[in-house]
Amino acid sequence: MLNYSVKRLGLAVIIVSVVMLLLFTMIYLIPGDPAAVALGPRATDAMREALRVKMGLDQPIWIQFWNFFINAWQGDLGNEVLSDRPVTDVVLEQLPFTLALIAGGMIWSIALGIPLGCWTAIQPGGIVDRIIGILSVGVIAVPSFVIAIYALLIFAVSLRWLPAIGAGDSGDIIDQIIHLILPSLAVGLGWVGYLARLVRASMLEVLEASHIRTARAFGLPERLITYRYALTIAILPTVTLLGVGIGQMLSSAVFAEIVFARPGVGKLVYDAILTRNYPLVSGAVLVTTVLFIAINLIADLVVGVLDPRVRSRL
């Protein structure tokens, strides 16, 4: 298992390199001048030029890429253009918020999606199945910001049960969790539908398997059969997909972060791209890529834990 992780990490290094290469190609393509953005309207040409030299923007793109790369390996992602703070600090202080948001979204989608999927799979074609089917596809189809806004208007503005903005007091876990409820719902609700559909489909398949019939033949209680014998297997493809889905959640996180005025990496990257704050973009993308890979790795390891057939292969 450990060695498997090591191998995956090796692969991750290559992926990260590829991502960075892509990124630099795009930076090269996209118009806009980081120096001009950084210095504002009153700067002179000479000043802009000087900053460009300082940022290494005057050099050919491949040299910039190489420099970034070499430095990144030494843990130095450079300093961001505007405040000149180390990119590593900037990204790492935002990361926990995004992680919390995505974790919250996952919790919503797992806590609601999986039971719904199971429930509908037990009696396919029944009324419950149909209604939940329509609801879950509906939930997939509603854009997440619409959900976010309405949740906010109802629970924060009208009822005032929950806060509307921010991530909560930094020292107060309860406060932070309260602040997380609405944004994570906005991020996770679409996935509730997705998971419900997926779990339903794979449950239907697993419930046909002969070991389930054997379990029934031994008179095991239906609950045990559904949740222990069938679900542990039906969940496997879902786990892989959830790992992949993190990427998607990262992009919907931007919306939630804007609408709920939460700090976070999604918005950080978004802002950095729009302000052409390229050191920050590269650094943040690097970190999120590593994160993405790590989460996929974890997903695979979770599959390994759940599935001994895979575990022995890891």
Partner 1 sequence: MNILEIQNLNVTFDTEDGQLRALRDVSFNVPEHRIVGIVGESGCGKSTLINSILGLLADNGQVEKGKILFEGQNLTELNSSQLRELRGVRISTVFQDPMGALNPVISVGTQMLHIQYRSSLSKSEKLDNAAEMLRRVRIPDRESALTRYPHEFSGGMKQRIAIAMAMMMEPALLIADEPTTALDATLEVATIELLQDLQQQIGCSVLFISHHLGVIAELCDDVVVMYAGEVVERGTTRQIFYRPMHPYTERLLQCDPAGQSERTRHLPTIPGEIPDLRLRTPGCIFAARCHCREDICDSTPPEVEIEGQSARCHRLVA
Partner 2 sequence: GAFGAATMVVPRFALSQDGSVLTVRSYSDLQVLDPTFRLSLPEDDIIRSIFAPLVIPQAGDVWGWKPIAAQSIEQLDDVTIAFTLKDNIGFTDGYGQMTAEDVKFSIERFADPAMESPYAGDWSALKEVEVKDKLSGLIHLNQKFVPLWSTTLPTPASCILSKRAMEELGDKITTKPVAQSGQYLLAEWQPKQKTVLKRNPDWAHEQGGFDEIHIIPIEDPATAERGFEAGDLDYTWTSVASIPRLKSNPPPNSVVLEKPSLAYVWIGMNQDVAPFDNINIRRAVQHAIDRKGVVDAAYFGAASVGNGIIAPGLPGSRDSVTYDYDPDKARDLLKQEGATNLSVTLDILNQTDRLTAAQVIQANLADVGISCEIKQNDSGTFWTLGSKDGDYWNKLQIYLQRYSMQPDPSWATVWFTPEQVGVWNWERVNNAEYKALHDQGLGESDFGKRDEIYKKMQGLMDESGCYVFLTHEVVGAIHRDTIQPGLKPNGESLFSEFKSA
Partner 3 sequence: MSEAVSKLYKALRRILAEPMGAFGVALVVLMVFGAVFADILATAEPSDISPRDRFQGPSITHLLGTDHLGRDLFSRVLHGGRIALSVALFSIAASLVIGVVLGLIAGYGPRWLDNLMILVFDALKSFPTVMLALALVTLFGPSLTAVVVVVILVNVPGYARIIRTQTLALKSAQFVSAAQSMGAGTTRILRAHILPNVIGPLLILASMDIPVVIAIEAGMSFLGLGVRPPTPSWGAILNDGFAAIRDTPWIAVAGGLPIIVTTLGFTFLGETLRDVFDPRLKVR
Where on the chain is the footprint of partner 2 (CB under 8 A)? 30-33, 36-43, 45-47, 50, 82-85, 90, 93-94, 97, 152-153, 156-157, 160-161, 163-167, 170, 258-261, 263-264, 267-268, 271, 273-276
Q: Which does 194 bind (CB under 5 to 8 A by kind): partner 2, partner 3, partner 1, none?
A: partner 3
Residues that bind partner 1 in the complex, under the rule CB under 8 A: 209-211, 213-221, 224, 228-229, 232-233, 306-309, 312
Amino acid at 91: V
Residue 305, both tokens: 């834990």
Give the end-to-end CA distance of the chain in Å, rounded to a whole number.
5
Q: Is 293 in the site for partner 3 (CB under 8 A)?
A: yes
**Smallest gap, in angstroms, from Cβ of residue 46 to partner 3?**
28
Would you give the DSSP letter of residue 76?
Answer: -
| HEC per residue, 140-182 | HHCCHHHHHHHHHHHHHHHCCCCCCCCCCCCCCHHHHHHHHHH
> Does residue 123 come out as left (phi exceeding 0), alpha (psi in the -120 to 50 range) or beta?
beta
**Smallest gap, in angstroms, from Cβ of residue 281 to partner 2?**
11
3-state secondary structure of 79: strand
Interface region with partner 3, contact rule CB under 8 A, candidates 81-89, 103-111, 280-288, 302-310: 280-288
Residue 271 and residue 214 in contact, taking contact as beta carbons nearer than 8 Å: no
Residues 123-182 that bind partner 3 (CB under 8 A): 130, 133-134, 137-138, 140-146, 149, 153
Rounded-to-integer distance, Cα 84 and Cα 169, Å? 26
Q: Which does 298 bind (CB under 5 to 8 A by kind): partner 2, partner 1, partner 3, none?
A: none
Q: Is 29 in the site for partner 3 (CB under 8 A)?
A: yes
Q: Is 209 in the site for partner 3 (CB under 8 A)?
A: no
Rounded-to-integer distance, Cα 211 and Cα 204, Å? 14
Which CB atom, from 2 or from 46, has the smaller least distance to partner 2?
Answer: 46
CA dihedral 209, 210, 211, 212 (to 10 degrees): 60
Q: Which does 146 bind (CB under 5 to 8 A by kind): partner 3, partner 2, partner 1, none?
A: partner 3
Look at the block and give the residue holding tokens 């786990």. 239
Q: Which does 229 bind (CB under 5 to 8 A by kind): partner 2, partner 3, partner 1, none?
A: partner 1
> Residue 130: which residues within 8 A CB-CB, separation 6 or more?
none
Binding residues for partner 3 (CB under 8 A): 11, 14-15, 18-19, 22-23, 25-26, 29-31, 130, 133-134, 137-138, 140-146, 149, 153, 194, 197, 201, 240, 244, 247-248, 251, 254, 269-270, 273-274, 281, 285, 288-289, 292-293, 296
